Structure 1
Amino acid sequence: MKDLYNSLMYAARAHAQWEIETSFNIIKNRKKLLVLFIMALPLLIPAMAHAASTLPGFIGGKSAFGPSFFSPTTFYGSIAVGIIAGLITGCIGAGGGFVITPALMSLGVKGILAVGTDMFHIFAKAIMGTTLHKKMGNVHAGLAIAFLVGSGLGVTGGGVINRALFNYNPIMSDFVISSIYVVLLGFLGIFAMSDFIRTKKNAPKVGGDVHGSPEKMTGLGTKLQSINLAPMIKFDEHVVPGGRRISGIFVAICGAVTGFLASILGVGGGFVTFPMFVYGLGISTATTVGTDIFQIIFTAGYGSIAQYAVYGYVFYTLAMGMLLGSLFGIQVGAITTKVVPGTQIKAFYALAIMAGFVNRLFALPEKLTQMGYISLTAAAGAIITKIGVWLFFGLVSFFGIWIIGTFIVNIPKLRAESVEDYNAKGGVSQ
């Protein structure tokens, strides 16, 4: 279980690094900022003018096929959610995407809309600021093609199931999505907290990568690579003389699992790609990271557009709000890592994950009552849900205020370090 957690965290860090590079690429490019402004203008002005409740359906208003009540508060909340997710990604170096869907659902957005909107937000950021060219040396064409074939099937299946559940019973749809997040965030939260405690006891390890990337082949990887099932794909020639070989069928199955979970949860899917590739198939970490970043763009694009947007399950206004918020959060978070103690960051990350877990857990009683499975007064169910919402936003807001406050207080120190770096490089801007 510890190895599984370590692999999940390594995958989260790889995805976070891609997000950081992508965000900086957008911020530093004037043309992309102009495109972002043009894209945002027709969406943001009505929301900021407090006319959001009457937005037309095609940009995510009440008349969309899968309606979700929209208010200016929801829009501003989406910006706050983006900032928090960006701070987690930039400051901690681990994916903040796990909190986005639960946070949107806490703001009153239906589960299926939260999933579709989150996927669209990932895709929009990817196509605007992708730094994929930096990773292309680690992308294996054969593995990527086999993976994307399976991923396409998985995303389609996840989208079909999500839409079918919503059409059958919107409350059940929310319940299923919340339940999956309870299991996922509960697992990650417990191990994140234990990782913080372990790191605190071993202070010399702070600042290093305590989630190492295993390169040794596992027994399962050795066994699967010994099965000669066409088509066979050769890879990792840079790791092992002569390379390794694996059946494309196994790679496609991994892609299907990743695509399915990504489509159900509204995330990039990298958190399952890494353990399956490294521990299951015996693929090196470098090849896994490169291929994972490559697949996220296509998985999020196909899922958000073909499975959600065309059916009216994407809130473009909220996606834009999250994108703007995350760009700010990632910049501040990435810079603040220079002055924030690593152990404190780990503690807040663990708390953020546990907050998401409690938030979705506390939402379940009300959903079960509405579906008639348990007997609970409507008032009691609503109170339990609200407690979960306040706990979640209270904890993540405290985290956000602490990081931003630390950044502001240390601006003089950060400026001094920037000048020193500039002078050390001979006064030449890089």
Structure 2
Amino acid sequence: MKGKTSWARKLYHGMYAAAEHQARWDYETSMTILRSRKRLCILGLLLIPALLVSVSLAADIGPLPEIVGGHKAYAPAYYTPSIFAVSILIGLAAGLITGCIGAGGGFIITPALMSAGVKGILAVGTDLFHIFAKAIMGTTVHKKLGNVSVKLALAFLIGSFAGVFGGGILNRLIYEINPVLSDLFISIVYVVLLGFLGSYALLDFLKLRKAGDADSASAHAGKSKPSSTGSTALAAKLQSTHIPPMITFDEDLVPGGKRIPALFVAICGGAVGFLAAIMGVGGGFATFPMFVYILGVSSFTTVGTDILQIIFTAGFASISQYAIYGFIFYTLAMGMLIGSLLGIQVGALTTKVVKGIYIRGFYATAILAGFLNRLFALPGKLGEMEVIPISHGLTQILNGIGNIVFFVIIGFFGVWVFTKFLSNLPALREETTARS
């Protein structure tokens, strides 16, 4: 039991470390966009079609065709201009979590979009495109390229692209069988993942609070990250295997470097691509623990490769598996992009006036809110699939509870962050002026 607990805790810490590094990239990318008038103008032009769609749907244009809101919908079910506004708020919330907590807020986007009435497969495709759109507009990957092992990255991406095909095909196949089954499948995946992450995040927060040392939050986070050596029994065993072609990496850290078969790297890439295509996230949360604990790659090299794969995996998945099949709603993606750009900046500034222990607590709460949201949606989906008997009234009540809990918690977090930001604005201005 102790071994299992240790393994699960290591996995959580690896995923948390990956979320931190992805959040750092997300912040740098967002700042690159916000500081460039040219990029902001491009973003403004991209928003014009989105606004036109919302305005046209706000007008009385009669009943929408079946393809828009029915069984074979290729746009958000029951789309209204309010959903566009909600997408901005969802992006804002995700940005606040990313900027303030310092860990990826992308985990809440797909559950939030599904709660707003968007079909699961569209939420996944739109989230992937949102990540890709931000990357191509303001990527800062060049700053990390010094950390990337090119051979390692190529082998990983080959596997990742194969995994993306598998995950995308599975998602579309399930949707074609039954859109309700698709929503059920995606919800179950999120319940498992967010339940695991949220429970461990909450345990970490409670331990820090019990210790009564607010400053220990950052020290604890540092201790929880995977070691730079990446030495585990499994990694040593894989590196001792000789299956050509072999890849050499970490030459700067280990004399002569480490060597591992490209096959193992590609298999890990396939797993990451598969998860990314199914869940609508960049896959970085899985890359870090796989690289460090399974392949034995140093955290230094892992960071650069992780950022690189997020861009290519999200881009390839969004275009090859969702965009060309009509499973991306660009209006929502642009709304989330606008909201996240604002949220990341406000959240990052707020961290200067908020204690680390509270940030850990809000991270756990946000993850658990997403978990409860999808958990309360499961009975209704199972009822629609005729797996369990459940009345329509009870389904509505459970869905309502899940949505209220989710949006109230995320909304409270947003209001709290903005209150802290506005109340400390003079101090933040003085600090910014002093730096400049």
Normalising by structure 2, report the TM-score: 0.93
Amino acid at match of 1:205: S
Query: 3-state SS of the aligned residue for 1:268?
Result: coil
Does the 8 A contact of 2:57 with 2:80 survive in 1? yes
Do structure 1's residue 206 and structure 2's residue 220 form an aligned pair?
no
**Residues 144-159 of structure 1: pairs in structure 2 closer than 5 A:** 144-159=153-168
Aligned counterparts of 1:190 and 1:224: Cα–Cα separation in 2: 31
Deviations 1:317-347 (CA, angstroms, capped at 9, x unpaired): 0000000000000000011110011111111
Correspondence for 1:365 among 376, 379, 385? 379
Rounded Cα–Cα distance in structure 2 between residues aligned with 1:49 and 1:247: 55
Q: What are the equivalent positions in structure 2 for 1:122-141 lying under 5 Å apart?
A: 122-141=131-150
3-state SS of the aligned residue for 1:239? Answer: coil
Q: Deviations over 1:79-124 (max 9, x none)?
A: 0000000000000100000000000000000000000000000000
Matches within 5 A, 1:34-183: 34-48=41-55, 51=58, 66-67=74-75, 68-183=77-192
Alignment partner, residue 361 of structure 2: 347
What letter matches 2:395 in structure 1? G
The SS at the match of 1:246 is strand
Q: Unaligned stretches of 5+ in structure 2?
A: 1-7
> 1:309 is matched with which residue?
323
Mean CA deviation greater in 168-177 or 413-422:
413-422
**CA displacement at 1:386 relative to structure 2:** 1.1
Q: How far 1:212 sits from its partner (Å)?
A: 2.5
Structure 2 CA distance for partners of 1:195 and 1:54, relative to 1, 3 Å: farther
Q: SS where residue 234 of structure 1 aligns? A: strand
Change (3 A) 1:89 1:171: same
Measure, in 2, the Cα distance between the counterparts of 1:251 and 1:237. Answer: 17
Percent of residue pairs identical: 55
Show the counterpart of 2:296. Answer: 282
Contact 1:119 1:268 in 2 (8 A): yes
Give me the whole-angstrom Cα distance separating, in 2, the residues matched to 1:186 and 1:82.
22
- State which drifts further: 157-166 or 413-422: 413-422
Structure 1: distance between partners of 2:206 and 2:397 = 32
Deviation for aligned residue 1:62: 5.2
44-53 or 356-365, which moves further after superposition? 44-53
Which residue type is aligned with residue 340 of structure 2? S
CA distance in 1, matches of 2:60, 2:206: 46
Count of equivalent residues: 419
Question: Which of 322, 325, 344 is the equivalent residue of 1:330?
Answer: 344
The residue that corresponds to 1:251 in the other structure is 265
In structure 2, give the amino acid aligned to 1:66: Y
Q: In the alignment, is residue 215 of structure 1 matched against residue 228 of structure 2? A: yes
Change (3 A) 1:268 1:53: farther
Checking the alignment, whether the CA contact within 8 Å between 1:66 and 1:113 is kept in structure 2 is: yes
Structure 1 counterpart of 2:37, which letter? R
| Deviation of the 1:4 alpha carbon | 1.2
Structure 2 counterpart SS, 1:206: helix
SS state of the match for residue 227, structure 1?
A: coil
Q: 1:184 and 1:212 mapped to 2: Cα distance? A: 19
Distance 2:177 2:60 in 1: 26
Q: Does 1:23 align with 2:37?
A: no
| Partner Cα distance (2:218, 2:111) in 1 | 30
Quick check: 2:33–2:137 contact (8 Å CA) kept in 1? yes
- How far residue 252 of structure 1 moved from its aligned partner, in angstroms, is 0.3
Amino acid at match of 1:8: M
